[in-house]
Amino acid sequence: MQNLIGRDLLTLGDLTPEELQAVLIRAKAQKLAHRNANKAPVATGQSAALIFMKPSLRTRASFELACRDLGVHPIVMGPQDAFSRNETVHDTVKVLERYVQLIVLRTFAHSHIEEVAEHASIPVVNALTDDYHPCQVLADLLTIKEHKGALQGVKLAYVGDGNNMTHSLMLGGALVGMQVAVATPVGYEPRADVVARAREIAATYGTGASVTLYNDPKDAVASADVVVSDTWASMGQEAEHAARVRAFETYTIDTPLMQRADSRAIFMHCLPAHRGEEVVDEVIDAPYSVVFDEAENRLHAQRALLSLIL
Ligand code: CP
Ligand code: NVA
Protein backbone atom coordinates (compact mmCIF):
# COMPACT_ATOMS: atom_id res chain seq x y z
CA MET A 1 0.00 0.00 0.00
CA GLN A 2 1.41 3.40 -0.97
CA ASN A 3 1.62 6.00 1.74
CA LEU A 4 -0.75 8.89 1.22
CA ILE A 5 -0.73 9.99 4.86
CA GLY A 6 -0.61 13.77 5.16
CA ARG A 7 -0.58 14.29 1.39
CA ASP A 8 -2.50 16.90 -0.61
CA LEU A 9 -4.66 16.01 -3.60
CA LEU A 10 -4.85 19.09 -5.81
CA THR A 11 -4.81 17.27 -9.16
CA LEU A 12 -4.60 13.58 -10.10
CA GLY A 13 -1.11 14.41 -11.38
CA ASP A 14 -0.14 14.37 -7.66
CA LEU A 15 -0.60 10.56 -7.64
CA THR A 16 1.40 7.70 -9.11
CA PRO A 17 -0.50 4.91 -10.90
CA GLU A 18 0.04 2.70 -7.81
CA GLU A 19 -1.34 5.35 -5.44
CA LEU A 20 -4.40 5.86 -7.63
CA GLN A 21 -5.00 2.11 -7.76
CA ALA A 22 -4.63 1.95 -3.96
CA VAL A 23 -7.47 4.47 -3.60
CA LEU A 24 -9.69 2.52 -6.01
CA ILE A 25 -8.98 -0.82 -4.31
CA ARG A 26 -9.73 0.61 -0.89
CA ALA A 27 -12.85 2.33 -2.22
CA LYS A 28 -14.21 -0.95 -3.55
CA ALA A 29 -13.37 -2.79 -0.32
CA GLN A 30 -14.99 -0.09 1.82
CA LYS A 31 -18.00 0.04 -0.49
CA LEU A 32 -18.61 -3.67 0.10
CA ALA A 33 -18.01 -3.22 3.84
CA HIS A 34 -20.42 -0.27 3.90
CA ARG A 35 -23.12 -2.32 2.21
CA ASN A 36 -22.64 -4.94 4.92
CA ALA A 37 -22.81 -2.25 7.63
CA ASN A 38 -19.33 -3.27 8.70
CA LYS A 39 -17.68 0.13 9.01
CA ALA A 40 -14.86 0.98 11.33
CA PRO A 41 -14.02 4.66 11.96
CA VAL A 42 -10.31 5.13 11.28
CA ALA A 43 -9.77 8.75 12.27
CA THR A 44 -11.90 9.21 15.37
CA GLY A 45 -11.43 12.55 17.06
CA GLN A 46 -10.23 14.42 13.97
CA SER A 47 -12.04 17.26 12.22
CA ALA A 48 -12.16 18.52 8.64
CA ALA A 49 -13.04 21.93 7.17
CA LEU A 50 -15.18 21.44 4.05
CA ILE A 51 -15.18 24.82 2.32
CA PHE A 52 -17.44 25.47 -0.66
CA MET A 53 -16.96 28.77 -2.47
CA LYS A 54 -19.28 27.42 -5.22
CA PRO A 55 -22.57 25.46 -4.95
CA SER A 56 -22.50 21.69 -4.44
CA LEU A 57 -24.94 18.83 -3.93
CA ARG A 58 -22.95 15.63 -4.45
CA THR A 59 -19.52 16.75 -3.29
CA ARG A 60 -20.80 18.34 -0.12
CA ALA A 61 -23.10 15.45 0.84
CA SER A 62 -20.55 12.74 0.01
CA PHE A 63 -17.63 14.42 1.81
CA GLU A 64 -19.78 15.08 4.86
CA LEU A 65 -20.91 11.44 4.95
CA ALA A 66 -17.40 10.14 4.26
CA CYS A 67 -16.11 12.15 7.21
CA ARG A 68 -18.86 10.87 9.47
CA ASP A 69 -18.17 7.24 8.47
CA LEU A 70 -14.47 7.69 9.30
CA GLY A 71 -15.12 9.31 12.66
CA VAL A 72 -14.01 12.73 11.38
CA HIS A 73 -16.14 15.72 12.38
CA PRO A 74 -16.98 17.79 9.26
CA ILE A 75 -17.33 21.57 9.51
CA VAL A 76 -19.04 22.80 6.32
CA MET A 77 -18.41 26.43 5.38
CA GLY A 78 -19.35 28.73 2.52
CA PRO A 79 -18.10 32.02 1.10
CA GLN A 80 -19.73 33.88 4.00
CA ASP A 81 -17.41 32.08 6.39
CA ALA A 82 -14.04 31.37 4.82
CA PHE A 83 -11.86 33.78 2.80
CA SER A 84 -14.46 36.46 3.55
CA ARG A 85 -14.10 39.97 4.97
CA ASN A 86 -10.77 40.39 3.14
CA GLU A 87 -9.08 37.86 5.43
CA THR A 88 -5.91 36.65 3.71
CA VAL A 89 -5.38 33.07 2.63
CA HIS A 90 -2.45 32.87 5.05
CA ASP A 91 -4.46 33.99 8.07
CA THR A 92 -7.45 31.84 7.15
CA VAL A 93 -5.31 28.73 6.85
CA LYS A 94 -3.34 29.43 10.05
CA VAL A 95 -6.62 29.72 11.97
CA LEU A 96 -8.17 26.59 10.44
CA GLU A 97 -5.10 24.49 11.25
CA ARG A 98 -5.69 25.18 14.93
CA TYR A 99 -9.06 23.43 14.66
CA VAL A 100 -8.94 20.79 11.93
CA GLN A 101 -6.65 18.11 10.52
CA LEU A 102 -7.81 18.39 6.88
CA ILE A 103 -9.07 21.06 4.46
CA VAL A 104 -11.37 20.14 1.57
CA LEU A 105 -11.88 23.12 -0.72
CA ARG A 106 -14.11 23.90 -3.73
CA THR A 107 -13.12 27.19 -5.27
CA PHE A 108 -12.70 29.15 -8.49
CA ALA A 109 -9.07 29.74 -9.55
CA HIS A 110 -6.83 26.69 -9.14
CA SER A 111 -4.14 29.09 -7.92
CA HIS A 112 -6.37 29.72 -4.86
CA ILE A 113 -6.17 26.10 -3.68
CA GLU A 114 -2.45 26.01 -4.50
CA GLU A 115 -1.97 29.03 -2.26
CA VAL A 116 -3.99 27.36 0.50
CA ALA A 117 -1.83 24.23 0.19
CA GLU A 118 1.38 26.29 0.30
CA HIS A 119 0.38 27.83 3.63
CA ALA A 120 -1.19 24.71 5.13
CA SER A 121 0.71 22.22 7.26
CA ILE A 122 -2.32 19.91 7.04
CA PRO A 123 -3.51 18.05 3.92
CA VAL A 124 -5.63 19.91 1.35
CA VAL A 125 -8.03 18.11 -0.99
CA ASN A 126 -9.48 19.66 -4.14
CA ALA A 127 -13.29 19.43 -4.23
CA LEU A 128 -13.29 21.17 -7.67
CA THR A 129 -11.57 24.23 -9.07
CA ASP A 130 -12.03 25.93 -12.42
CA ASP A 131 -9.29 23.65 -13.78
CA TYR A 132 -9.59 20.26 -12.06
CA HIS A 133 -12.09 17.91 -10.38
CA PRO A 134 -9.91 15.02 -9.16
CA CYS A 135 -12.34 13.52 -6.61
CA GLN A 136 -15.04 13.21 -9.29
CA VAL A 137 -12.65 11.28 -11.51
CA LEU A 138 -11.67 8.93 -8.67
CA ALA A 139 -15.38 8.04 -8.50
CA ASP A 140 -15.60 7.83 -12.30
CA LEU A 141 -12.67 5.40 -12.51
CA LEU A 142 -14.22 3.25 -9.77
CA THR A 143 -17.50 3.24 -11.73
CA ILE A 144 -15.79 2.32 -15.01
CA LYS A 145 -13.87 -0.49 -13.30
CA GLU A 146 -17.12 -1.85 -11.86
CA HIS A 147 -18.95 -1.76 -15.20
CA LYS A 148 -16.12 -2.67 -17.58
CA GLY A 149 -14.08 -4.94 -15.31
CA ALA A 150 -10.86 -3.05 -16.11
CA LEU A 151 -9.43 0.38 -16.79
CA GLN A 152 -6.35 -0.27 -18.92
CA GLY A 153 -7.15 -0.17 -22.63
CA VAL A 154 -10.69 1.12 -22.09
CA LYS A 155 -11.64 3.84 -24.59
CA LEU A 156 -13.30 6.87 -22.97
CA ALA A 157 -14.82 9.53 -25.22
CA TYR A 158 -15.55 12.93 -23.67
CA VAL A 159 -17.77 15.27 -25.70
CA GLY A 160 -18.22 18.92 -24.77
CA ASP A 161 -16.25 21.69 -23.12
CA GLY A 162 -12.53 21.25 -22.43
CA ASN A 163 -13.01 22.02 -18.75
CA ASN A 164 -12.08 20.86 -15.24
CA MET A 165 -13.69 17.45 -15.88
CA THR A 166 -11.82 17.03 -19.17
CA HIS A 167 -8.52 17.87 -17.50
CA SER A 168 -9.03 15.42 -14.64
CA LEU A 169 -10.29 12.66 -16.97
CA MET A 170 -7.17 13.06 -19.12
CA LEU A 171 -4.84 12.89 -16.10
CA GLY A 172 -6.73 9.99 -14.50
CA GLY A 173 -7.01 8.17 -17.81
CA ALA A 174 -3.26 8.60 -18.38
CA LEU A 175 -2.46 7.08 -14.97
CA VAL A 176 -4.60 3.97 -15.57
CA GLY A 177 -3.79 3.39 -19.27
CA MET A 178 -7.03 4.44 -20.93
CA GLN A 179 -7.52 5.71 -24.50
CA VAL A 180 -9.00 9.16 -23.88
CA ALA A 181 -10.68 10.82 -26.88
CA VAL A 182 -11.89 14.38 -26.42
CA ALA A 183 -14.20 16.21 -28.84
CA THR A 184 -14.70 19.95 -28.37
CA PRO A 185 -15.60 22.85 -30.64
CA VAL A 186 -12.64 24.90 -31.88
CA GLY A 187 -11.71 27.35 -29.14
CA TYR A 188 -13.00 25.12 -26.31
CA GLU A 189 -10.19 22.56 -26.27
CA PRO A 190 -8.65 21.40 -22.99
CA ARG A 191 -5.55 23.36 -21.97
CA ALA A 192 -2.49 22.39 -24.01
CA ASP A 193 -0.26 22.12 -20.92
CA VAL A 194 -2.69 19.68 -19.29
CA VAL A 195 -2.84 17.58 -22.49
CA ALA A 196 0.97 17.56 -22.49
CA ARG A 197 1.07 16.60 -18.80
CA ALA A 198 -1.34 13.70 -19.39
CA ARG A 199 0.79 12.43 -22.29
CA GLU A 200 3.92 12.84 -20.16
CA ILE A 201 2.32 10.76 -17.36
CA ALA A 202 1.44 8.03 -19.87
CA ALA A 203 5.03 8.00 -21.20
CA THR A 204 6.74 8.26 -17.79
CA TYR A 205 4.85 5.35 -16.27
CA GLY A 206 4.46 3.40 -19.52
CA THR A 207 0.74 2.95 -18.91
CA GLY A 208 -0.08 2.70 -22.63
CA ALA A 209 -2.59 5.53 -22.32
CA SER A 210 -3.31 7.97 -25.13
CA VAL A 211 -5.01 11.36 -25.31
CA THR A 212 -6.42 12.36 -28.69
CA LEU A 213 -8.26 15.60 -29.47
CA TYR A 214 -11.02 15.90 -32.05
CA ASN A 215 -13.53 18.50 -33.13
CA ASP A 216 -16.15 16.06 -34.44
CA PRO A 217 -17.96 14.13 -31.66
CA LYS A 218 -18.54 11.23 -34.07
CA ASP A 219 -14.78 10.71 -34.42
CA ALA A 220 -14.21 10.71 -30.65
CA VAL A 221 -17.14 8.40 -29.86
CA ALA A 222 -16.29 5.76 -32.51
CA SER A 223 -16.11 2.35 -30.76
CA ALA A 224 -15.83 4.00 -27.31
CA ASP A 225 -16.47 1.88 -24.21
CA VAL A 226 -17.44 4.92 -22.13
CA VAL A 227 -19.10 8.13 -23.36
CA VAL A 228 -18.94 11.14 -21.06
CA SER A 229 -20.41 14.63 -21.14
CA ASP A 230 -20.55 17.59 -18.78
CA THR A 231 -22.24 20.97 -18.68
CA TRP A 232 -21.37 23.40 -21.47
CA ALA A 233 -21.22 26.32 -19.02
CA SER A 234 -19.45 25.52 -15.77
CA MET A 235 -19.95 27.30 -12.46
CA GLY A 236 -18.63 30.83 -12.93
CA GLN A 237 -19.47 30.85 -16.68
CA GLU A 238 -23.20 31.52 -16.30
CA ALA A 239 -22.99 34.76 -18.34
CA GLU A 240 -21.61 32.77 -21.30
CA HIS A 241 -24.47 30.26 -21.27
CA ALA A 242 -26.31 31.52 -24.37
CA ALA A 243 -23.14 31.84 -26.45
CA ARG A 244 -22.02 28.39 -25.34
CA VAL A 245 -25.36 26.78 -26.24
CA ARG A 246 -24.77 28.07 -29.79
CA ALA A 247 -21.13 26.95 -29.88
CA PHE A 248 -21.96 23.44 -28.60
CA GLU A 249 -25.16 22.96 -30.64
CA THR A 250 -23.81 19.86 -32.41
CA TYR A 251 -22.23 18.35 -29.26
CA THR A 252 -25.37 16.95 -27.64
CA ILE A 253 -25.09 13.26 -26.77
CA ASP A 254 -28.12 11.61 -28.33
CA THR A 255 -29.02 8.08 -29.37
CA PRO A 256 -27.53 8.28 -32.92
CA LEU A 257 -24.22 9.42 -31.40
CA MET A 258 -24.30 6.66 -28.74
CA GLN A 259 -24.89 4.14 -31.56
CA ARG A 260 -21.40 4.96 -32.88
CA ALA A 261 -19.89 3.78 -29.59
CA ASP A 262 -19.31 0.13 -28.72
CA SER A 263 -22.62 -1.75 -28.41
CA ARG A 264 -21.93 -2.28 -24.67
CA ALA A 265 -20.87 1.35 -24.04
CA ILE A 266 -21.92 3.11 -20.86
CA PHE A 267 -22.87 6.79 -20.52
CA MET A 268 -21.43 8.90 -17.70
CA HIS A 269 -21.97 12.46 -16.46
CA CYS A 270 -20.68 13.97 -13.22
CA LEU A 271 -24.01 15.84 -12.81
CA PRO A 272 -25.76 18.22 -12.58
CA ALA A 273 -26.97 17.45 -16.11
CA HIS A 274 -28.70 19.94 -18.36
CA ARG A 275 -31.17 17.68 -20.13
CA GLY A 276 -31.69 18.74 -23.72
CA GLU A 277 -28.33 20.52 -23.84
CA GLU A 278 -25.28 18.24 -23.39
CA VAL A 279 -27.40 15.07 -23.18
CA VAL A 280 -30.95 14.05 -24.12
CA ASP A 281 -33.32 12.25 -21.72
CA GLU A 282 -33.27 9.13 -23.89
CA VAL A 283 -29.52 8.70 -23.21
CA ILE A 284 -29.25 9.77 -19.57
CA ASP A 285 -32.30 7.65 -18.66
CA ALA A 286 -31.19 4.63 -20.74
CA PRO A 287 -30.21 1.33 -19.08
CA TYR A 288 -26.61 1.94 -20.19
CA SER A 289 -26.44 5.24 -18.25
CA VAL A 290 -24.54 4.82 -14.97
CA VAL A 291 -24.79 8.40 -13.70
CA PHE A 292 -26.28 7.48 -10.32
CA ASP A 293 -23.71 4.72 -9.69
CA GLU A 294 -21.18 7.45 -10.45
CA ALA A 295 -22.80 9.80 -7.93
CA GLU A 296 -22.89 7.05 -5.27
CA ASN A 297 -19.23 6.27 -5.88
CA ARG A 298 -18.27 9.81 -4.88
CA LEU A 299 -18.90 8.67 -1.30
CA HIS A 300 -16.87 5.47 -1.58
CA ALA A 301 -13.95 7.04 -3.45
CA GLN A 302 -13.68 9.99 -1.07
CA ARG A 303 -14.02 7.84 2.03
CA ALA A 304 -11.12 5.74 0.73
CA LEU A 305 -9.08 8.82 -0.12
CA LEU A 306 -9.64 10.44 3.29
CA SER A 307 -8.90 7.21 5.14
CA LEU A 308 -5.55 6.93 3.29
CA ILE A 309 -4.67 10.62 3.85
CA LEU A 310 -5.65 10.72 7.52
N1 CP B 1 -20.47 16.28 -9.64
C2 CP B 1 -20.36 17.21 -8.66
O3 CP B 1 -19.27 17.61 -8.26
O4 CP B 1 -21.56 17.63 -8.17
P5 CP B 1 -21.79 18.88 -7.18
O6 CP B 1 -21.34 20.10 -7.93
O7 CP B 1 -23.25 18.87 -6.89
O8 CP B 1 -20.95 18.67 -5.96
N1 NVA C 1 -17.66 21.45 -15.09
C2 NVA C 1 -18.66 21.55 -14.05
C3 NVA C 1 -18.59 20.39 -13.11
C4 NVA C 1 -19.66 20.40 -12.05
C5 NVA C 1 -19.54 19.25 -11.09
C6 NVA C 1 -18.48 22.85 -13.30
O7 NVA C 1 -17.34 23.20 -12.98
O8 NVA C 1 -19.48 23.53 -13.03
- Mean pLDDT for 84-97 is 98
The answer on 271 and 241 residing in a single domain is: yes
The answer on 217 and 93 residing in a single domain is: no
What pLDDT band is residue 43 in, cutting at 50, 70 and 90? confident
Report whether 56 contacts 77 (CB < 8 A).
no
The answer on 142 and 287 residing in a single domain is: yes
pLDDT at 1 over 60: no
> Whose Cα sits closest to atom 6 in ligand 2?
234
Cβ of 271 below 6 Å from ligand 1: yes
Q: Which atom of ligand 1 is nearest to the CA of 128?
A: 3
- Mean pLDDT for 92-121 is 98
Domain that holds residue 88: 2-132+297-309
What pLDDT band is residue 128 in, cutting at 50, 70 and 90? very high
The answer on 56 and 177 residing in a single domain is: no
Q: Total domain count for the chain?
A: 2
What pLDDT band is residue 36 in, cutting at 50, 70 and 90? low
pTM: 0.97
CA distance 113 to 286: 37
The answer on 278 and 159 residing in a single domain is: yes
CA distance 232 to 288: 22
The answer on 287 and 152 residing in a single domain is: yes
Q: What is the Å distance from ligand 1's center to 251 Cα?
A: 21
- Mean pLDDT for 283-289 is 98
The answer on 194 and 122 residing in a single domain is: no
Report whether 50 contacts 73 (CB < 8 A).
no
The CATH number of whichever domain residue 155 belongs to comes to: 3.40.50.1370
pLDDT over 90, % of the chain: 95
Residues 15-33 pLDDT 10s = 999 999 999 999 999 999 8
The answer on 75 and 142 residing in a single domain is: no
Question: Could you tell me where the beta strands, DSSP code E, fall in the chain?
Answer: 47-52, 73-77, 102-106, 124-126, 155-159, 179-183, 210-214, 226-229, 266-269
Angle at 167 between CA 108 and CA 254, to 5 degrees: 105
Report whether 19 contacts 201 (CB < 8 A).
no
The answer on 271 and 151 residing in a single domain is: yes
Mutate to test the pocket of ligand 1, among 50, 54, 58, 62 (most ligand atoms within 8 A of CB): 58
Mutate to test the pocket of ligand 2, among 113, 164, 167, 238 (most ligand atoms within 8 A of CB): 164
pLDDT at 150 over 90: yes
